[in-house]
Amino acid sequence: MGSMLRHIYRLTGKELRSLWADPILLGFIIYVFSVAIYTIATGAKLEVEAARVAVVDEDHSELSRRIAAAMLPPLFRAAEPIAPSEIDSAMDTGRYVFVVEIPPKFESDALSGKNPTVQIDVDATAMAIAGNGAVDIQNIVLNETAAYLRKDSGSSSAPVNLV
């Protein structure tokens, strides 16, 4: 029993010395077990809730309207239509966290088997919300497009390219 405790003591000392020699790992461990826990415990939000979304609909088709209408609470506020010329100023002023740009001929390209591209502009100053919300919007666009095209397409590839 005494020999086992000596081995445990030596191995523990060795591990602590190697940890002390790696200041980045030591700092990360301190962060994870202090700041990260405190941030989550005090209610810092990392999930998307009522994010403002704008849609630049240059197609004006049923599919593009379905995509815009699918941006629903609690994740998003109702999508607001804007003109392409308003994107930069709206994003710079923080009016929207996300802007979804649907190009002309989007529905006809999707129906003809081409993979049209939808662009999602993200305000990266809200990093956690931006990352999670971009994934949510991507899923909405893909799901709505797949549901719309389901009757024509039997392929398993994504019907839309998201940028």
Question: Rounded to 5 degrees, what angle do the CA atoms 21, 23, 25 make?
Answer: 100
pLDDT value at position 133? 86
Residue 20 backbone phi and psi in degrees, to 5:
-65, -30
Going from N- to C-terminal start, the domains of the chain cover: 2-41, 53-162
> For 103, how many CA atoms within 13 A lie in the half-sphere containing its CB?
14
Instruction: Note if the pTM is more than 0.75.
Output: no
Q: Which of 114, 118, 98 is nearest to 58 (CA)?
A: 118
Higher pLDDT, 4 or 157: 4
- Report which DSSP code applies to 51: B
pLDDT value at position 105? 92
Longest CA–CA separation in the chain, Å: 79
Sheet holding 117-122, edge to edge: 80-81, 53-57, 98-102, 117-122, 161-162
pLDDT one-digit tens code per residue, 34-49: 988 887 777 666 677 7
Spell out the CATH class of 53-162.
Answer: alpha beta
pLDDT value at position 51? 86
> DSSP 3-state assignment of 117?
strand
